[in-house]
Amino acid sequence: MQWLNILCFVLLSAGLLALFDVRVSDLLLSASRGKTVTLSDELKVLQGIPTKGFFSREYEIEQILEGMGRANQFSVVKQASLLLFAVGTVLALLLNNVYMVPILGIGFSLFPVWYLRSTAASYKKHLNEELEMSISIITTSYLRTEDLIRSVRENLPHIGEPVHAIFEAFVYEAELINANTTSAINSMKMKVPNRVFHEWANILIQCQSDRSMKHMLPTIAQKFSDVRIVQSELDAMMQEPRKEAITMVFLVLANIPLLYVLNKDWFHTLLFTTPGKIALAICGAIILYSVSKIMQLSKPIEYGGDVK
């Protein structure tokens, strides 16, 4: 019977790793050399291109937290994830359910990661809103004056954080440090992980040698409005399914103590027999997968990217 428990544990672990897009090679690489992302992953994050893969997404969150001034939270959350993984494992063993070990372990360890992703998603939504407003007013001024530095400087009082600090640094660099406006634009561009902002900055660079390119700027700025409209529609569309999913998860979990009140024999079968333990493990895996998908669908969309 022991070999059957081990086999089920291995299969459940492999299934959960596949569901969350975590490769064993990534885990071995992280443990042996501590390197989790490639130069290509870093470039995609800087350009605002949606990343794929477990560790690439965590690197993206780490960069966002650094931009928020909360870089210390990332290391704390990683330690909390390891601690909660141990707590989940011990809890499953205390319940004498080996099938629940990978589910409770991975589930508990993902709570801090979900918190970080939720924080990063809120930050990116706020960043997109500020970029939309800032680029719109700066573009309008630039079309009128054809002087980028002046256009940014005169609109600084109307720009909110975190975008205000980025444009303020651009003005200081262009006026006091580096007279090369193209270099200052490139420096500003790499501080914002947003694809549309990068397109806007690239057009500005072309405008330094060809002023006729300025008429392309309103088209780029319009993309932010398109993203905001689609994001609003997606949030409204996902609100009811999200509530229904959370309600179903609550009902499934509430049925376990309810069985103790309704029929103690059923409760004993569910918690203390092998078929019941397997059924609990299957329900736990489905709940974990459902919550993970809800978190993925709650993140902000990117122009040209998908919502998965």
Is 214 a member of any domain? Answer: yes
Confidence of residue 48 (pLDDT cuts 50, 70, 90): very low
**pLDDT tens-place string over residues 240-253:** 888 888 888 888 88
Cα separation, 248 vs 293, in Å, equals 14
Q: Give residue 48's identity as a one-letter amino acid code.
A: G
Comparing 218 with 241, the larger pLDDT belongs to 218
Indicate whether 19 belongs to any domain: no
Please give the pLDDT value at position 67. Answer: 59
- Does residue 108 form part of some domain? no
pLDDT score of 35 = 44
Would you state the pLDDT for residue 223?
A: 85
Please give the mean pLDDT across all residues of the chain.
76
pLDDT one-digit tens code per residue, 113-148:
788 777 777 888 888 888 888 999 999 998 888 888
Whole-angstrom Cα distance, residue 217 to residue 199? 9
Q: Is residue 236 part of a domain?
A: no
pLDDT of residue 29: 38
In a domain, 229, yes or no: no
In a domain, 134, yes or no: yes
pTM over 0.85: no
Is 150 a domain residue? yes
Residue 47 has pLDDT above 50, yes or no: no
- Model confidence band, residue 294 (pLDDT cutoffs 50, 70, 90): confident
What is the span of the domain harbouring residue 189? Answer: 128-222
**153 belongs to a structural domain:** yes
Q: Name the domain count of the chain.
A: 1
Q: Looking at mean pLDDT, say which of 123-127, 199-203, 224-228 comes out highest.
A: 199-203
296 or 252, higher pLDDT: 252
The pLDDT of residue 19: 57
Closest Cα to residue 186, out of 172, 196, 175, 200? 200
